[in-house]
Chains A and B, each alone.
Chain A
């Protein structure tokens, strides 16, 4: 999926051109009532070419042919926009389908292995997948451990480890085992797998109009009907004044007035919005979810991995009980020489950074004591019999007291100070003496503060969830700039917070990966599961992040907003265009009968026919000109809603009034050369 960022290949364009003609079928057209009206207009003018007197005619055949052609092109442009957006989705689907070739599975029947095609696998079946084989379907590892190449789905080439039990047990059909062997319990029936859903989603086959799209469509149809009434009654007005208004002219007026620009681009905007999310390697289960993302009021984020790096890094040595900095750092280092945990490595790293030294030879031949949940300490037993330990302060204290040692008076204040500052204190002791503390700090990822700042401007509240104690949580929250935090949180707390926010009418988004996150993911309005997470989490969520990057939720919100804004901006533009079109067509309609109407011809267009044709041409070519904007979405920078509105209103509203005046005038300069 990574490489799909190239927007258009010649093949997609070629297919889109073909599709634009296929979509002329009235049965398909009627799904877009606005463009359907244009098509009917085209058919009427087409009829008039061959039967000029059908409505008591009076316009030249040349004019009729021109209007008819422009109308056809207008419809084709709109179809092209939609086909192009769909085409890009299809291209993605095709590459996914390649992954979905028939795989032979080693199904376990009783104790025997039987070769069956993957399409015959049902939920609950057990299969064995060995090195070099494709995993035949979505499922859960129930036995074994293997490294799996998931690049077909995620685009990430580094293999991931999958093992039975825990949060890394889910595997996806179509991915490849590159080492070892696993036993997988299939979790989906054929046609319902993750890959199947993904294909149908990007193909747009299951695309349903979102609530907001429906609401906007209703307004656009209402506007279309209003203009239909205006245009249909106009010849009666003219008739009373003895002014004859020709049918092609009326159709031209109608087509110019109805919101064809947005009508032609509306579905392309929707498809492209979904597509942008997909390109971002996030898989949205529905367009509704993307739209809802734009509306989010509250985001619940896990601290570890999302806001902070999650590894606690040693950032300072604090001597206690009269010990010197050199002592505490040296003993901390010696206890960590053989320690491969990130904490251990960070101690040595800190030594190097601070230019401190220790006698590494002292640790030679010592026996490394691993960290255990019961002891909550690790360390080394030296050859000379001394025991060096580092670990949780209370654990170390107990250990020292047990050996008859004394606890320095400044140990507790020191460790409290570290905890208050958001850090984790580790005590360092040798036998019965405590030398000092290691200040472990959870580091906030760079740029997070700015992001939360942006979210606040967007009106989104951020809540951080962490298992840390309230003091630590408060410090990290302050450092990262989140609005609120829940300390010592349990999975149920997340649901409680989501429910509480929702009860206030807020829309809540959250990310999660573990099975215990699943209920919260389901409860949230937008739940993003990590692809590395469990099947349960993925099923409960309405988006899956293939890169498993929890902070991406912020971009998803932006894409959701961008989607709505693109719709709003192009609607405003489309309606604002009507002002200029009126000033082009109305004087042209009546100038012959009422020469004084020339005053309204503010653009000084060459001739009545030229004015009408120019307006129609502008109306048609604006659609392909705006396709890139519809596909990319309008520029969005987080800022307050008033500023945003003022800005978009200026660009698309005021711009929408002015642009066609200029555009029609320029087109008229050329058109007038012929008529």
Chain B
């Protein structure tokens, strides 16, 4: 790796770490129901929205909150489903895209509403501008807002405050966080050369005299919320590998920063909201450590190159560039791949399918753990769930009924957490087994790599990521429906269950902190947290990882 690559990585990550805390404090303030300075700026607009939509702003119970989130999301899905199914008849369709097939429309709607953005279609040929702008971009905002709102409610519950109001949080997430940031970054992207137009595909006449259609459209505005909201669905099929969706080094760096922003700032927002800044920092540092290890593995695997090529006498001194964009190089591709899976965004600037076996294992592992920052909102919820498991075990080991933020973790909470812990492995492993058994012909590779493709697809779906190990023939009724169901359950089951945990904890009387209390804001606790995350993750997915990437790596003969 060149000095330039190192500097680019360090500068990008350095900036990400630097802005995380102020951004977190801003988030905490934006969702604080106490009057504060932000109300002056956003209050008037929000009041109009609340008034027009008839939203009563009172606090909800956790049940009402969860119900509001799920039902409103369902309603949005229904509307956008109709748009996709009827896009051929709707306006803003200069390229004449036809109506979407039902299972694909189902899959796409669920994918975007769940913040997963799994794409079994190709943006340039599958969706009209109307579908992209009114359907996709609409859901990109609301799904992110739903995730952030759920996280805020969850954190409020842990802090022992009222859960809040879903609709207020949803609106605030959009007005105070998503819209301003997306607007500004869209302008920057446009300045960096990303198209923003409603004109149809450009027609180019090549030197050979043939005609070439070049897809374009309102990409800059799409791109900003795609990355900032950890959505990840590309305007065009190849996502951020396309020169229009990621023209160069600066746009690449900005995209990485946008992807990391919400995930890295939420631990600080959490620390502020529960009144224990140190604990937020401990969680942030723990996640950052996992991130750095993951990035290191990916970088070293890709740097080592492909032994099969080396055996042919080519590229002895070269890193693996297969499937990567030359304008980003190996290092920026590896960084992007780590970030997009760690933050459960799912945008790609390189094809994960063509990473080296161990390199490809990193995005997979990031998604399986789903605690290396994680997606907008739901990431911190998952992290806090693991923190509770860590607290439970540590509490037992110091001889106290475990307590987290002064609330005792008892049978009821542990039951909910235990069920939630169980669901993700089930959603990944069971459908993968089914796909391997019944639909092996849709998997483009035989052997270990094919196995990884199938596991990757369901891992990505269950954890709201959305990136793919391309090569999978995934636009079939089976894959559309199976991943659709997995995405839906992976998202809403966990949100509802964790809100139930928060509701249950919020109702408890806080236990005072004494010197006998096990502290959860120390490096020691960070260590226990990491051990639990890695142990549970490793024990659950070890066989799958061994039979997929590890076996592929071991059998990769020069």
A binds B: yes
Residues of A whose CB lies within 8 Å of any CB of B are: 211-212, 214-216, 218-219, 221-222, 225-227, 229-230, 232-234, 236-241, 257, 291, 294-295, 297, 456-461, 504-506, 560-565, 567-569, 571-572, 575-576, 578-579, 582, 586, 590, 594, 596-597, 599-600, 636, 640-642, 644-646, 648-649, 652-653
Q: Given contacts A457-B515, A645-B524, is CB(A505)–CB(B406) below 8 Å?
A: yes
Closest chain-B Cβ to A105's Cβ sits at a distance in Å of 45
Q: Which of B414, B426, B434 contacts A229 (CB 8 A)?
A: B426
Give 28 CB contacts A-B under 8 Å: A211-B401, A212-B401, A215-B414, A215-B415, A218-B418, A222-B418, A222-B422, A226-B425, A229-B422, A229-B426, A230-B425, A230-B544, A233-B432, A234-B543, A239-B436, A241-B447, A241-B551, A461-B514, A563-B399, A564-B395, A565-B396, A568-B395, A568-B397, A586-B543, A590-B546, A594-B555, A597-B546, A599-B554
Contacts of A560 in B (CB 8 A): 399
Contacts of A460 in B (CB 8 A): 514, 516
The answer for the CA separation of A199 and B414 in the assembled complex, in Å, is 33
Q: What per-residue 1/0 map shows which CB atoms of B388-424 lie under 8 Å from chain A?
A: 0100111111111100001001110111011101100
Q: Which of B414, B419, B425, B547 contacts A238 (CB 8 A)?
A: B547
Q: Which of A226, A237, A456, A568 contacts B396 (CB 8 A)?
A: A568
The answer for the CA separation of A646 and B406 in the assembled complex, in Å, is 21
Tell whether, in the assembled complex, residue B543 and residue A652 are in contact, meaning their CB atoms are under 8 Å apart: no
Contacts of B447 in A (CB 8 A): 241
Residues of B whose CB lies within 8 Å of any CB of A are: 389, 392-401, 406, 409-411, 413-415, 417-419, 421-422, 425-426, 429-430, 432-434, 436-437, 440, 447-448, 450-451, 509-512, 514-519, 522, 524, 528, 531, 535, 538-540, 542-544, 546-547, 550-551, 554-555
Q: Which of B394, B406, B512, B543 contacts A645 (CB 8 A)?
A: B394
Q: Which of B398, B430, B522, B554 contacts A233 (CB 8 A)?
A: B430
Closest chain-B Cβ to A316's Cβ sits at a distance in Å of 38
Nearest residue in A to B515 (C-beta to C-beta)? A459
The answer for the CA separation of A597 and B419 in the assembled complex, in Å, is 33
Further contacts, 5 of them, CB under 8 A, given A569-B396, A571-B396: A215-B413, A216-B414, A234-B543, A237-B544, A297-B516
Tell whether, in the assembled complex, residue B514 and residue A644 are in contact, meaning their CB atoms are under 8 Å apart: no
Contacts of A238 in B (CB 8 A): 547
Tell whether, in the assembled complex, residue B433 and residue A237 are in contact, meaning their CB atoms are under 8 Å apart: yes
Contacts of B421 in A (CB 8 A): 222, 226
Contacts of B518 in A (CB 8 A): 641-642, 645
Contacts of A257 in B (CB 8 A): 539
Q: Which of B430, B451, B531 contacts A240 (CB 8 A)?
A: B451
Contacts of A586 in B (CB 8 A): 542-543, 546
Residue of A257, A645, A648 with most chain B CB atoms under a 10 A cut-off: A645
Closest chain-A Cβ to B432's Cβ sits at a distance in Å of 7
Contacts of A232 in B (CB 8 A): 433
Contacts of A641 in B (CB 8 A): 398, 400, 515-519
Contacts of B522 in A (CB 8 A): 642
Contacts of B451 in A (CB 8 A): 237, 240-241
Tell whether, in the assembled complex, residue A505 and residue B510 are in contact, meaning their CB atoms are under 8 Å apart: yes
Closest chain-B Cβ to A320's Cβ sits at a distance in Å of 46
Q: Which of A233, A561, A582 contacts B542 (CB 8 A)?
A: A582
Tell whether, in the assembled complex, residue A229 and residue B411 are in contact, meaning their CB atoms are under 8 Å apart: no
Contacts of A571 in B (CB 8 A): 393, 396
The answer for the CA separation of A564 and B516 in the assembled complex, in Å, is 14
Q: Which of B397, B437, B555 contacts A236 (CB 8 A)?
A: B437
Tell whether, in the assembled complex, residue A241 and residue B398 are in contact, meaning their CB atoms are under 8 Å apart: no
Tell whether, in the assembled complex, residue B399 and residue A565 are in contact, meaning their CB atoms are under 8 Å apart: yes
Closest chain-B Cβ to A228's Cβ sits at a distance in Å of 10
The answer for the CA separation of A649 and B393 in the assembled complex, in Å, is 10
Closest chain-B Cβ to A615's Cβ sits at a distance in Å of 14
Closest chain-B Cβ to A463's Cβ sits at a distance in Å of 13
The answer for the CA separation of A621 and B429 in the assembled complex, in Å, is 31
Q: Given contacts A229-B430, A652-B397, is CB(A459)–CB(B516) below 8 Å?
A: yes
User: Which A-B residue pairs are the 6 nearest by beta carbons?
Assistant: A459-B516, A568-B396, A561-B399, A222-B418, A236-B433, A596-B554
Tell whether, in the assembled complex, residue B422 and residue A225 are in contact, meaning their CB atoms are under 8 Å apart: yes
Closest chain-A Cβ to B125's Cβ sits at a distance in Å of 32
Nearest residue in B to A213 (C-beta to C-beta)? B411
Residue of B396, B411, B429, B437 with most chain A CB atoms under a 10 A cut-off: B396
Contacts of B511 in A (CB 8 A): 297, 505-506
The answer for the CA separation of A117 and B422 in the assembled complex, in Å, is 59
Contacts of A648 in B (CB 8 A): 397-398
Closest chain-A Cβ to B469's Cβ sits at a distance in Å of 15
Contacts of A506 in B (CB 8 A): 511-512
Q: Given contacts A226-B421, A504-B512, A505-B512, is CB(A564)–CB(B547) below 8 Å?
A: no
Q: Which of B411, B419, B440 contacts A215 (CB 8 A)?
A: B411
Closest chain-A Cβ to B440's Cβ sits at a distance in Å of 6
Closest chain-A Cβ to B449's Cβ sits at a distance in Å of 11
Q: Given contacts A456-B515, A596-B555, A641-B400, is CB(A241)–CB(B409) below 8 Å?
A: no
Q: Which of B397, B415, B436, B512 contacts A297 (CB 8 A)?
A: B512
The answer for the CA separation of A597 and B451 in the assembled complex, in Å, is 17
The answer for the CA separation of A534 and B395 in the assembled complex, in Å, is 37
The answer for the CA separation of A233 and B516 in the assembled complex, in Å, is 44
Nearest residue in A to B516 (C-beta to C-beta)? A459
The answer for the CA separation of A622 and B430 in the assembled complex, in Å, is 32
The answer for the CA separation of A456 and B400 in the assembled complex, in Å, is 15
The answer for the CA separation of A289 and B387 in the assembled complex, in Å, is 28
The answer for the CA separation of A672 and B290 in the assembled complex, in Å, is 39
Q: Given contacts A215-B411, A597-B551, is CB(A297)–CB(B401) below 8 Å?
A: no
Contacts of A582 in B (CB 8 A): 539, 542-543
Q: Which of A218, A457, A568, A599 contacts B414 (CB 8 A)?
A: A218
Q: Which of B394, B415, B524, B543 contacts A218 (CB 8 A)?
A: B415
The answer for the CA separation of A586 and B393 in the assembled complex, in Å, is 27
The answer for the CA separation of A390 and B91 in the assembled complex, in Å, is 110
Closest chain-B Cβ to A261's Cβ sits at a distance in Å of 14
Q: Given contacts A222-B418, A505-B509, is CB(A564)–CB(B519) below 8 Å?
A: no
The answer for the CA separation of A64 and B5 in the assembled complex, in Å, is 56
Tell whether, in the assembled complex, residue A575 and residue B535 are in contact, meaning their CB atoms are under 8 Å apart: yes
The answer for the CA separation of A642 and B514 in the assembled complex, in Å, is 13
Tell whether, in the assembled complex, residue A590 and residue B547 are in contact, meaning their CB atoms are under 8 Å apart: yes
Closest chain-A Cβ to B442's Cβ sits at a distance in Å of 12
Q: Given contacts A218-B415, A461-B514, A642-B524, is CB(A240)–CB(B450) below 8 Å?
A: yes
Tell whether, in the assembled complex, residue B398 and residue A230 are in contact, meaning their CB atoms are under 8 Å apart: no
Contacts of B519 in A (CB 8 A): 641-642
Contacts of B394 in A (CB 8 A): 568, 645, 649
Q: Which of B393, B398, B419 contacts A222 (CB 8 A)?
A: B419
Closest chain-A Cβ to B371's Cβ sits at a distance in Å of 16
The answer for the CA separation of A586 and B509 in the assembled complex, in Å, is 47
Nearest residue in B to A461 (C-beta to C-beta)? B514
Residue of A219, A456, A590 with most chain B CB atoms under a 10 A cut-off: A219
Nearest residue in B to A502 (C-beta to C-beta)? B509
The answer for the CA separation of A649 and B531 in the assembled complex, in Å, is 10
Q: Given contacts A229-B429, A240-B436, A560-B399, is CB(A215)–CB(B392) below 8 Å?
A: yes
Q: Which of A214, A561, A640 contacts B400 (CB 8 A)?
A: A561
Q: Given contacts A229-B429, A641-B516, is CB(A564)–CB(B396) below 8 Å?
A: yes
Tell whether, in the assembled complex, residue A649 and residue B512 are in contact, meaning their CB atoms are under 8 Å apart: no
The answer for the CA separation of A561 and B395 in the assembled complex, in Å, is 10
Closest chain-A Cβ to B551's Cβ sits at a distance in Å of 6
Contacts of A230 in B (CB 8 A): 425, 429, 540, 543-544
The answer for the CA separation of A526 and B451 in the assembled complex, in Å, is 57
The answer for the CA separation of A569 and B421 in the assembled complex, in Å, is 21
Contacts of B397 in A (CB 8 A): 565, 568-569, 572, 644-645, 648-649, 652
The answer for the CA separation of A652 and B528 in the assembled complex, in Å, is 13
The answer for the CA separation of A54 and B433 in the assembled complex, in Å, is 22
Contacts of A599 in B (CB 8 A): 554
Residue of A226, A238, A596, A648 with most chain B CB atoms under a 10 A cut-off: A226
